Structure 1
């Protein structure tokens, strides 16, 4: 983009001069805006004047709907830095209306573990109330380990310099050094990713951004991964009736963990966005959409020949607070489906339209959630019809846990989907999650098979949608469970996909969330070091 010149400071930035403190001895600066991707960054819009930042007010919420942690975006598909020593970053931040503006430098990108954002090392610099606020996270807590405020009277076009040297981060504004904070290991991983946010009701423009010193600009990685004839996907696609093998994929590890990215593209031919299409992520404020992370996952899938199973349109968890409090629930639900399914139409193969509607504790077998309270059971057929209208080519699923087992939950699900089919509702299939957290969750393969066959008789497809098995150290049992369900999916003509909820314990949703250091789970076929377990070998054996 071409940027006009309004101040002498801006002129210096665009000319390549650094505003870092004297004595830093940095090399000539390099432009991080021109020629780099800022269009695939939630809340950001490249313009002739720079990158316009709009506040998302995006939060991770609890299952009960309370705001738990702010979840500001990072530019995952854009440029980042490889750093090996001292470096500097100069930014020209145009702040108007007295609102706050934040630029964040992530040493490691945060990771979302189902209803918890694990903060990793970063430095955030904000123009707040005319002052420069600097906060540092060390990766050991959700909270900043150090926060300090410097200067006064900052407004309009504010030239900010951030320099890392000697274990400290020094900040300047308008060419004047203001102070320092401890680095706290924020950049010890040797990378810097960029995020930006704004105060609700405000917004600002990033007019220039440059890097200098021991900093090399790196753009998004090549998405296409090297195929393998011995992978799960290769073996499953070579079956007389091919079956897709899928996994939930998290967006931030996909860009900053090369080993994770390699396995994801090599082993799977179906991808479920783990979080990035859930309502609280994709429509954090009413009418404000954040599609960038989901778009990036779709791009990765396309580059690797993977089908996208999009998750999820209607659920009673992972909702932004505004959606819970809105009085016009039917309008909210239908508008959300139209906008989100419409945005991804033609680029995803399937949708989880309604997620986890069952609750055997109620007489009708349904969870009396906020959608049910507003519309009754009618919310379910209305959601499916709206999804079909928004994306006529997508295969539409109802996704549920515990229904692979016999009992009231399965009985209620079967009754529901049979009625939906009889009423002409455009439901194409059922996702059976197969979460096995305790011994009682384990289902004999033949019981699971009977349920798959019962749904086939209704003309419905089935997918194993979210399988994980907590092993408690018994990897032989874990392997048997994965292989047994895969064998059923391989054999039954209406089972289209065998999917797991992530593939490595390093980023698994059974981690002990909220804890620093992270206590990882043990429910997935690759361990926390990304080494395959017995479950991986057992699944390959079934496919052979």
Structure 2
């Protein structure tokens, strides 16, 4: 079966369909550490295009491979955490130095567990085949068998997804054997009158119920997708709009995964809260080393906010600028070092110009209780308002990882009211509560903050940083595969916890 004609390759990052095939361009996209070091390569997967359901022996054939180019077959799409990419089992085949290189990942490590260089003298465009028969994988070039590699679970999930990188044109791609081609699922999910979003919409003053959503699980995991569309009317891209994902190389933009999330939101009547334009983390290395930081910042905002203008409702323009330990209360990050505190003003002005109708937020953590972080945040946003900076609201993240992170609802309410007096909206932007096995306390914390948002006229949205422990960002990524955390209202098995029931009760 032909996997190019009649299938979607236009929403594949770094790819462009042409008359002669799919042109693949290298993105050089990486997962980076907080301080900017490259941690893991993050090549794209065609999430919106065809994948295979495999029930037995199969052969995948493609043509167009040249030196430095490769095609990768994934058992399931990788899962991206905040600073970590979970590699599922996969097989990568490509031409390197005249040889066919086959590398296999087993899902238990971030690195390939087996790599072989086979054959010799391969040049120009090469026809490559991957044949799985009886648990053995054989690789062929131009019809000639070159050798075998271990399966290592690549076919155990019963599906195969396609990724590619390098600089080349994929001229043909086909599959034969016990397989079926499946295109992207329908985005619209069945609504429910008992969902959180339905209850929140029926309040005398309706509010948004939101969650951070990851593109890989949204496409691959039907149960995750159903809950996301049914329960929430606001969506925050968990990672796919951060700078390292959308502009991995200067002037090279990769919007495919973020566009997919926006399309899902629109199909299900969800507002998109876009995250984030300016931060000092999740940056590509070129952005950190650029000498013209102001130009980089403004150009990035114009390009990214401009791309999504009219399709997203809100932006986190500046993320986490506060450090109460400094005399001015601000984090002296790379943007501050290049532009001073004016980087915040410049960012909001550029965002307003790029998308005049979006609601613009500053997003911050740790400012829910009284203390230095709250004082510094209030001082900053008051100054921005007095100076006419186009800031519309503040996101208060409400991460509760330890007992000391918990804030009494009435203290939180006081801060929401204080921001209302400045003419600012408030959204609970990233709430999660590590339970440590105490589901009752977790339920109380979620319900208490939701009640404040329900009652205070300037609170627009109650948002969580994910919704299921299956893909939650508090997972232990020191082990592979990661060990799920326990911070969200659905378990790793996608069953609702006490926190879900407590929130539903607050919305009655």
Normalised by the size of structure 1, how large is the TM-score? 0.93
After superposing on structure 2, the runs of 4+ consecutive aligned residues of structure 1 that deviate more than 3 Å are: none
Give the Cα separation in 1 of the matches to 2:324 and 2:132.
57
Q: Tell whether 2:52 aligns with 1:81.
A: yes
Q: 1:237-284: per-residue Cα shift (whole Å, max 9, x none)? A: 000000000000000000111100000000000000000000000000
Q: Where do 1:31-430 residues align within 5 Å?
A: 31-95=2-66, 99-198=67-166, 203-430=167-394
Stretch of structure 1 that moved more, 145-154 or 469-478: 145-154
Match of 1:506, SS state, is: coil
Distance 2:246 2:121 in 1: 36
5+ long unaligned stretches in structure 1? 1-29
| In structure 1, distance between residues paired with 2:252 and 2:479 | 31
Q: Which residue of 2 aligns with 1:454?
A: 418
When the two chains are superposed, the root-mean-square deviation of aligned CA atoms in Å is 0.6
Structure 1 CA distance for aligned equivalents of residues 482 and 255 of structure 2: 28
2:108 & 2:133 partners in 1: Cα distance? Answer: 22
Residue 51 of structure 1 contacts residue 205 of structure 1 at CA under 8 Å; is this kept in 2?
Answer: yes
Cα distance in structure 2, aligned partners of 1:254 and 1:187: 21
- Aligned equivalent of 1:539, options 492, 503, 506: 503
Report the equivalent of 1:439: 403
Greater mean deviation of Cα atoms: 155-164 or 528-537: 155-164
Deviation at 1:514, TM superposition (A): 3.3
Residues 163 and 262 (structure 1), Cα distance of their counterparts in 2 relative to 1, 3 Å cut: same
2:317, 2:351 within 8 Å by CA — same for their partners in 1? Answer: yes
Deviation digits for residues 435-459 of structure 1, max 9, x if unmatched? 0000000000000000000000000
1:286-322 deviations in Å (ceiling 9; x for gaps): 0010000000000000000000000000000000000
Total equivalences in the alignment: 508
Quote the offset at 1:129 in angstroms. 1.2
For the residues of structure 2 that align with 1:327 and 1:284, how far apart are their CA atoms?
Answer: 17
Stretch moving more, 478-487 or 169-178: 169-178
1:441-520 aligned at under 5 Å gives the runs 441-520=405-484
**In structure 2, the residue corresponding to 1:147 is in which secondary structure?**
strand
Report the Cα distance in structure 1 between the residues aligned to 2:137 and 2:69, rounded to whole angstroms.
19
- The CA distance in 1 between the partners of 2:36 and 2:248, in whole Å, is 13
In 2, the alpha carbon distance for the partners of 1:45 and 1:543 equals 46
| Unmatched runs of 5 consecutive residues or more in structure 2 | none
| Alpha-carbon distance between aligned partners in 2 of 1:350 and 1:244, rounded to the nearest angstrom | 12
Q: Is the 8 A contact 1:309 1:348 kept in 2?
A: yes
Residues 390 and 232 (structure 1 numbering): CA distance in 2 closer, same or farther, change over 3 Å? same
Q: Is contact 1:403–1:432 with CA below 8 Å preserved after alignment? A: yes
1:166 to partner: Cα distance: 1.5
Alignment partner of 2:171: what SS?
A: strand
Q: CA deviation at 1:517?
A: 3.1
User: Shift of residue 513 of structure 1?
Assistant: 1.3
8 Å Cα contact 2:86-2:481 kept in structure 1? no
CA contact (8 A) 2:65 2:94 kept: no
